[in-house]
């Protein structure tokens, strides 16, 4: 453990206990990005919340798909590569 008293270094010292639930942080992050982006881009506020919901689902599905593809790449494809 790195002992620092003046700064918090999230990549070197992650919060304890978060490693099991970090994927749940994707939901509020995707919602926040969608709310801010759609607030600036939507001309008609009549469909604002629907478009926020659609964009949130798109972000979560895209990130989940990328995580699955990366897991397949690391678990299946990389072990098949010849060792040098």
Please tell me the predicted confidence (pLDDT) of residue 5. 58
Residuewise pLDDT in 10s, the chain (84 residues) = 555 556 767 777 767 777 777 778 899 999 999 999 999 999 888 999 999 999 999 999 999 999 999 999 999 998 898 887
In contact, 59 and 53? CB cutoff 8 Å: no
């Amino acid at each position: 453990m790195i002992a620092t008293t003046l700064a918090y270094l999230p990549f070197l010292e992650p919060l304890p206990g978060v490693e099991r639930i970090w994927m749940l942080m994707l939901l509020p992050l995707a919602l926040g990005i969608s709310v801010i982006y759609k607030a600036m881009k939507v001309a008609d506020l009549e469909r604002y919340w629907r478009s926020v919901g659609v964009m949130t689902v798109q972000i979560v599905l895209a990130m989940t798909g990328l995580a699955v593809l990366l897991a397949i790449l690391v678990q299946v494809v990389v072990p098949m590569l010849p060792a040098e």
